[in-house]
A and B are shown apart, each in its own frame.
Chain A
Amino acid sequence: MDPIFLSTLIVGGTALLSWPLGRYMAWAMDPAGNNGPTNLFERISGARGMQDWRSYVASLLIFNVAMFTICFAILSLQQFLALNPDTKGALDAHLAFNTAASFTTNTNLQHYSGEVSMSYLSQLAALMWLQFVSAATGIAALAALARGIAGRETMGHFMIDVQRATFLVLLPLAVLVAGYMVLMGVPMTLQGAAQAVTLEGATQTIARGPVAVFLAIKQLGTNGGGYFGPNATHPLENPSFWTNLVSMIAIILIPMACVWMFGRIIGRQRHAAVIFSVMLVFLIAKIASSVWFESAPTYALRDLPVEQTLGNLEGKELRLGATTGPLWAVLTSSTSNGSVGAMHDSLNPLTGLIPMIGMWLNATFGGVGVGMINMFVYIIIAVFVAGMMVGRTPEYLGHRVEAREVKLAVMALFLHAVLILGGTALFAATPWGQSTTLNPGAHGFSEILYEFTSAAANNGSGFEGLGDGTAQWNIATGIVMLLGRFVPIILPLAIAGSFMTKQRAAESVGTLGVEDATFATMLAITIIIFGALTFLPAAAIGPMAEQLSLAY
């Protein structure tokens, strides 16, 4: 299918769908009064009253620590537990730690192959359950942030919000998508692996399991963790063009809708539209460049007498079409999803750079809830610089942006840079990383850079070509994932909390407008300069060096 048509269909179609969904999510997450579901959730959790930002964050952390602990316990003990028809064995402690961290943080970095290592209980109760609640944590945090910005008295209650996000937003959508996937031939069973006799008469074991439900929430919740090791390139996880299409829509649907939900809660739809447009422009630019970079054949084939017009087909699932590789790569990396529809390791070097850019920015559209939260950090910086340029103490929607807010925002940017560049430096300079890459030179460096980028951005996709199952990798990326998840949620909530304590300034034509093209431009420039430029040196000696050395 024509790449432009396909990309437009998926991105444009999802953008249209995101509008009503955003409206629904605003209703579900932030109902005007205490509606039926809210009363129910209050009864279930016993949560009463409202929280300021500190107690909201405290509840969020306690909840996530509990989830992490349960997940870690199930993974460590799976060999003794039920739902293990194929008698999967014990996991290494560091792998269990990494996996628990990975799924708690909505990252789904997988240093294992599900069909080889995980029992059905581990897949469903530990991993899939976390795919729901980790995504719900992100949506809840965004709702709280929006309430703070809206100037409410409190941020709401985390225990209520996380239930709203799980049961009112994610579950219904997951049921819809899972149903569709089952109809399209994705397995949904608790029976053990199937045995088949091949044409040659050999016996083949075909792994299967409750794939459809896992798949639905993996995409919708920007989790990305595959049921099978090869993720969405596996024929039972993504059997056809039609499952592929819906998967891609599911990847960006909720991240897009989160922007509208944010706009509705703060009561500023036009502002949300400006943010949405900026995110969309970045997304389109990334798709366009990666599709274009990938239209060249892989370098190794360049001088061979083969068809040169088909683009780079290495590492692609041809039954899904050639465009799907770069398109999926952009969608999955722009949203902190991390499921893969082609081998990123086999992408042309500059195409491989695009997913990294997506994760460095991590806000166009970003993970469910947290993408918009990350964008909020860029907004604070943009507002601060632009606000001075209009000759006033900077204000964001009437909230004065002062030392405390700037400090917290810069800390978030700093942390992202430290986790990625610091981690990469540590592993690039030591045998921890050097002895695990399968490629020398710039490409091998890119593999390390990609892994830390993916962990810090809570994306979870792998460049692969990396022996990342070592204790060092498991522990280092596990720590990076945890810091990269919770600190960037806490800092923006602290900013909103600080807003809530201050008198709100009135807006006039003299105050900085955040609803016009000028602000959109300012925001885009801020994202490039504060977000992307930091990583330019790393990009230069990774993917860019590889590409330019090939051409040299």
Chain B
Amino acid sequence: MSKTSSASLFTSELLKPALRDAVRKLDPRELYRNPVMFTTAVVALLATVLALRSLVAGAEDTFFQLQLVIWLWLTVLFGNLAEALAEGRGKAQAAALRSTKAELTGRRIDGEQQEKVPASALRKGDLVRVETDELIPADGEVIAGVASVNEAAITGESAPVIREAGGDRSAVTAGTRVLSDGITVRVTAEPGQGFIDRMIALVEGASRAKTPNEVALTLLLTGLTLIFLVAVGTLPAFTAYAGQTISVPVLVALFVALIPTTISALLSAIGIAGMDRLVRFNVLAKSGRAVEAAGDIDVLLLDKTGTITLGDRQASEFVALPGVAQGDLVEAAMLASLADETPEGRSIVALARAQGMEATQPAGAEVVTFTAQTRVSGIDADGREVRKGAVDAVLKLHPFDARATQALRQVTDRIARDGGTPLAVSDGTRLLGAVHLKDIIKTGIKERFAELRRMGIRTVMITGDNPLTAAAIAAESGVDDFLAEATPEDKLELIRKEQSGGRLVAMCGDGTNDAPALAQADVGVAMNTGTQAAREAGNMVDLDNNPTKLIEIVGLGKQLLMTRGALTTFSISNDVAKYFAILPAIFVALYPGLGTLNVMGLTSPQSAILSAVIFNALIIPCLVPLALRGVAYKPRSASRQLIGNLGLYGLGGLIVPFIGIKGIDLAVAALGLA
């Protein structure tokens, strides 16, 4: 997880445009989106008018009123600044993205002819030809050809990837560069709606709609504001009973201090920063909603390969059948694998070498390559037909001797039970034995699963292996459950089953056949190398193609909500101290006895009111780093999470303002401001 130090938040290159934006955001049409800050601006305006009137009339508390006005406007500006800073960080990223997109042109295929047109003229369904060293002009699907493509522009990863027609690696992205060969691409996105366009909009925060949780929180904060409007607005009537009046600027100060300005000012910054953290983590969420949903995940569907085990299985053992010399088996397995460039094949050769076997491919040998239909590979040489492959597939090659078949079954069952994958080896009509291919479980993955379990998240391993193998790997890796011999339909059904039980499911996938499951899952992370269909179906795209990230994505989602909750708690708890600062200051003239409530021993009523308002304004920029970075997140159970955050932000929110307001009061008094 990339971490940005808080110092870098306030560099001048970020700060200057942010300050400009903060002023621009005073536009009522912008402010209106945030009801609490809008209200603050309205009462600040009211206080301004009153202060100006006092100025004209030469009232004695004009200086005090003017100071109040300044701090009220600063409260609004600090809120705008927080949002502008959050957006600013994204904008820098967007600018870089935009530069890759500028000036893209493509050669549109029109019948026999090719016509050079700007990317903005390309429509969905158009065909374009892209040759070596050209930039791909629009998002699309390769329909002919193979090319190696450098996608560093979007992933930051400079190693080229293969893009080819058909299969699961057909999607290409605008702005990426073809390094070799040429491809024909069918455009799949209208201009301005491509992948990079969406990415730019997202990181800029332009297309940011409020998430459901944000809407709910805004309602709570607005409701609180209304309640305090009643609590403060009725005070003049209350004091009228005692034949006294309270000055309006003082009431405005009390009102602004009580309403939850802190969290409201930081609310959108928290949301933007949450998305931004994900982008920095090279995951692109299509909506803020998806990020929040990630925090709610109950079940993680994890592909075995690449997530739980290292991608490649390694040969670990040759098991010869009774009556077969060990050497015969090893030699046959080696011969069958010499031309096999898959990691499994190479590991068989390596293991055989390690066991002292030396064999070279006979001249004139005919290589039988692995296909999805036959599921065997090997060579034909010197009249021998050496084969290795999936047990069932090998057994179908010939009517082998029944006893040998049975013996082979015993061996392969044992291997499967141990979590390995058996490959059968045959030479002509003779069964020789089996190769034990072993899955290598990633180090530390067991601890990760234990951690997830403590957080209440269940992990389900998805694998094409048979149930015996799957069970063994599941046990070894510590995953909670597994789905063996999984077809895309099985996955979809599993997701539906979990969801009907009220659980939210996350998964990742890349193939076209993953698309329905990706769409059904609450959080579907598509690999960037995947097909266009998969990328469309998921609500996040992982630019690094690393399925393990699903675990971190859940953490990021939780961190986002926790930051929001923690700052809400902090903001609301602050009210206690503010009451103790302002209430005695307002009422002490009316009832001198109420001076007893001035527990902080603030210098004077004016200085008390001013200090509370200054604290209320300054706390916003002080919390901006926390809002942008997110609260410290540790994976632990909900109740421990609550104890931790309630202790830190609830108790902190009670205590900090007492200290802060007292300190500001001392400074205000020392400077003679009130």
Q: Which residues of B are found within 8 Å of A405, using beta-carbon distances?
A: 216
**A406 in the interface (beta carbon within 8 A):** yes
Q: Would you call A511 and B227 a contact (CB within 8 A)?
A: no
Q: Which residues of A are found within 8 Å of B573, using beta-carbon distances?
A: 525, 529
**A302 in the interface (beta carbon within 8 A):** no
Q: Which residues of A are found within 8 Å of B590, using beta-carbon distances?
A: 541, 545
**B593 in the interface (beta carbon within 8 A):** yes
Q: Would you call B562 and A410 a contact (CB within 8 A)?
A: no
**A153 in the interface (beta carbon within 8 A):** no
- Within residues 139 to 190 of chain B, which ones have a CB less than 8 A from any CB in chain A? none
Q: Would you call B564 and A388 a contact (CB within 8 A)?
A: yes
Q: Would you call B641 and A506 a contact (CB within 8 A)?
A: no
**A444 in the interface (beta carbon within 8 A):** yes
Q: Would you call A537 and B231 a contact (CB within 8 A)?
A: yes
Per-residue CB contact flags for chain B residues 293-320 toward chain A (1 = under 8 Å, else 0) read 1011010000000000000000000000
Give CA–CA (A506, B500) in the complex, Å.
Answer: 10
Q: Which residues of B are found within 8 Å of A414, using beta-carbon distances?
A: 223, 226-227, 230
Give CA–CA (A502, B497) in the complex, Å.
Answer: 17
Q: Which residues of A are found within 8 Å of B216, using beta-carbon distances?
A: 384, 394, 401-403, 405-407
Q: Would you call B562 and A544 a contact (CB within 8 A)?
A: no
Give CA–CA (A442, B243) in the complex, Å.
Answer: 11
Nearest residue (CB) in A for B560 is A391
Q: Would you call B593 and A545 a contact (CB within 8 A)?
A: yes
Q: Would you call B502 and A506 a contact (CB within 8 A)?
A: yes
**A508 in the interface (beta carbon within 8 A):** yes
**B406 in the interface (beta carbon within 8 A):** no
Stretch at the interface among B128-136, B368-376, B452-460: B452-460
Q: Would you call B645 and A544 a contact (CB within 8 A)?
A: no
Nearest-neighbour CB distance to chain A for B474, whole angstroms, equals 20
Known contacts: A421-B231, A424-B238, A548-B591. The answer to whether A511 contacts B223 by CB under 8 A is no
Q: Would you call A393 and B212 a contact (CB within 8 A)?
A: yes
Stretch at the interface among A8-16, A214-222, A426-434: A426-434
Q: Which residues of A are found within 8 Å of B234, using beta-carbon distances?
A: 421-422, 424-425, 538
Cβ 8 A contact of B642, one of A389, A433, A503, A541? A389
Q: Tally A-B pairs: CB < 8 A.
A: 234
**B383 in the interface (beta carbon within 8 A):** no
**A445 in the interface (beta carbon within 8 A):** yes
Nearest residue (CB) in A for B591 is A545
- Within residues 510 to 551 of chain B, which ones have a CB less than 8 A from any CB in chain A? none
Nearest residue (CB) in B for A380 is B220
Nearest-neighbour CB distance to chain A for B264, whole angstroms, equals 14
**A448 in the interface (beta carbon within 8 A):** yes
Q: Would you call B565 and A516 a contact (CB within 8 A)?
A: no
**B292 in the interface (beta carbon within 8 A):** yes
Cβ 8 A contact of A389, one of B212, B240, B293, B562? B562
Cβ 8 A contact of A413, one of B227, B241, B295, B638? B227
Q: Which residues of B are found within 8 Å of A511, using beta-carbon distances?
A: 456, 638
**B232 in the interface (beta carbon within 8 A):** yes
| A-side interface mostly | helix
Known contacts: A385-B565, A388-B213. The answer to whether A505 contacts B503 by CB under 8 A is yes
Q: Would you call A521 and B639 a contact (CB within 8 A)?
A: no
Stretch at the interface among B33-41, B410-418, B575-583, B665-673: B575-583
Nearest-neighbour CB distance to chain A for B569, whole angstroms, equals 6
Q: Would you call A417 and B231 a contact (CB within 8 A)?
A: yes
Nearest-neighbour CB distance to chain B for A12, whole angstroms, equals 29
**A1 in the interface (beta carbon within 8 A):** no
**A202 in the interface (beta carbon within 8 A):** no
Q: Would you call A398 and B242 a contact (CB within 8 A)?
A: no
**B429 in the interface (beta carbon within 8 A):** no
- Within residues 365 to 411 of chain A, which ones have a CB less than 8 A from any CB in chain B? 381, 384-394, 398, 401-403, 405-407, 410-411
**A5 in the interface (beta carbon within 8 A):** no
Per-residue CB contact flags for chain B residues 215-255 toward chain A (1 = under 8 Å, else 0) read 11101101110111011111111111110000000000010
Q: Would you call A406 and B219 a contact (CB within 8 A)?
A: yes
Nearest-neighbour CB distance to chain A for B581, whole angstroms, equals 13
Give CA–CA (A518, B650) in the complex, Å.
Answer: 12
Q: Which residues of B are found within 8 Å of A508, using beta-carbon distances?
A: 298, 456-458
Per-residue CB contact flags for chain A residues 509-552 toward chain B (1 = under 8 Å, else 0) read 11111001011011001000110011111101100110111111
Q: Would you call B645 and A389 a contact (CB within 8 A)?
A: yes
Nearest-neighbour CB distance to chain B for A113, whole angstroms, equals 27
Give CA–CA (A398, B503) in the complex, Å.
Answer: 10
**B443 in the interface (beta carbon within 8 A):** no
Q: Which residues of A are found within 8 Å of B576, using beta-carbon distances?
A: 529, 533
Give CA–CA (A529, B643) in the complex, Å.
Answer: 18
Q: Would you call B638 and A513 a contact (CB within 8 A)?
A: yes
**A467 in the interface (beta carbon within 8 A):** no
Q: Would you call B220 and A384 a contact (CB within 8 A)?
A: yes
**B594 in the interface (beta carbon within 8 A):** yes
Q: Would you call A410 and B594 a contact (CB within 8 A)?
A: no
Per-residue CB contact flags for chain B residues 189-228 toward chain A (1 = under 8 Å, else 0) read 0000000000000000000000011011101101110111
Cβ 8 A contact of A393, one of B501, B561, B642? B561
Give CA–CA (A326, B105) in the complex, Å.
Answer: 85
Cβ 8 A contact of A512, one of B292, B579, B638? B638
Q: Which residues of B are found within 8 Å of A448, using beta-carbon distances?
A: 241
Q: Which residues of A are found within 8 Å of B597, using beta-carbon distances?
A: 540, 544, 548
**A66 in the interface (beta carbon within 8 A):** no
Q: Would you call B593 and A429 a contact (CB within 8 A)?
A: no
Q: Would you call A549 and B212 a contact (CB within 8 A)?
A: no
Give CA–CA (A234, B238) in the complex, Å.
Answer: 34
Q: Which residues of A are found within 8 Å of B219, using beta-carbon distances?
A: 403, 406-407, 410
Q: Would you call B592 and A540 a contact (CB within 8 A)?
A: no
Q: Which residues of A are found within 8 Å of B298, using beta-carbon distances?
A: 505-506, 508, 510
Cβ 8 A contact of B238, one of A522, A541, A548? A541
Q: Which of A389, A508, A519, A534 has the most CB of B within 10 A?
A: A389
**B572 in the interface (beta carbon within 8 A):** yes
- Within residues 269 to 321 of chain A, which ones have a CB less than 8 A from any CB in chain B? none
Q: Would you call B502 and A398 a contact (CB within 8 A)?
A: yes
Q: Would you call A411 and B223 a contact (CB within 8 A)?
A: yes
**B436 in the interface (beta carbon within 8 A):** no
Give CA–CA (A545, B579) in the complex, Å.
Answer: 15
Per-residue CB contact flags for chain B residues 390-422 toward chain A (1 = under 8 Å, else 0) read 000000000000000000000000000000000
Q: Would you call B593 and A425 a contact (CB within 8 A)?
A: no
Nearest-neighbour CB distance to chain B for A426, whole angstroms, equals 7
**B504 in the interface (beta carbon within 8 A):** yes
- Within residues 449 to 473 of chain B, which ones have a CB less than 8 A from any CB in chain A? 454-458
**B378 in the interface (beta carbon within 8 A):** no
Q: Would you call A509 and B455 a contact (CB within 8 A)?
A: yes
Nearest-neighbour CB distance to chain B for A412, whole angstroms, equals 10
Per-residue CB contact flags for chain A residues 487-512 toward chain B (1 = under 8 Å, else 0) read 00000000000000001111011111
Cβ 8 A contact of B230, one of A417, A513, A550? A417
**A418 in the interface (beta carbon within 8 A):** yes
Q: Which residues of B are found within 8 Å of A444, using beta-carbon distances?
A: 241
Q: Which of A428, A448, A541, A548 has the most CB of B within 10 A?
A: A541
Give CA–CA (A513, B212) in the complex, Å.
Answer: 22
Nearest residue (CB) in A for B456 is A510
**A85 in the interface (beta carbon within 8 A):** no
**A172 in the interface (beta carbon within 8 A):** no
Known contacts: A428-B238, A518-B643, A541-B239. The answer to whether A393 contacts B593 by CB under 8 A is no
Cβ 8 A contact of A510, one of B220, B226, B638? B638
**B337 in the interface (beta carbon within 8 A):** no
Shortest 4 CB-CB distances between A and B: which pairs? A510-B456, A388-B565, A548-B593, A391-B558
23 contacts between A and B (CB under 8 A): A386-B642, A389-B562, A393-B296, A403-B216, A414-B226, A414-B227, A417-B231, A418-B230, A425-B233, A425-B238, A428-B240, A505-B298, A505-B502, A509-B639, A513-B638, A513-B639, A525-B650, A529-B575, A534-B228, A536-B231, A538-B234, A541-B239, A545-B593
Q: Which residues of A contact B (CB under 8 A)?
A: 381, 384-394, 398, 401-403, 405-407, 410-411, 413-414, 417-418, 421-422, 424-426, 428-429, 433-434, 441-442, 444-445, 448, 503-506, 508-513, 516, 518-519, 521-522, 525, 529-530, 533-538, 540-541, 544-545, 547-552
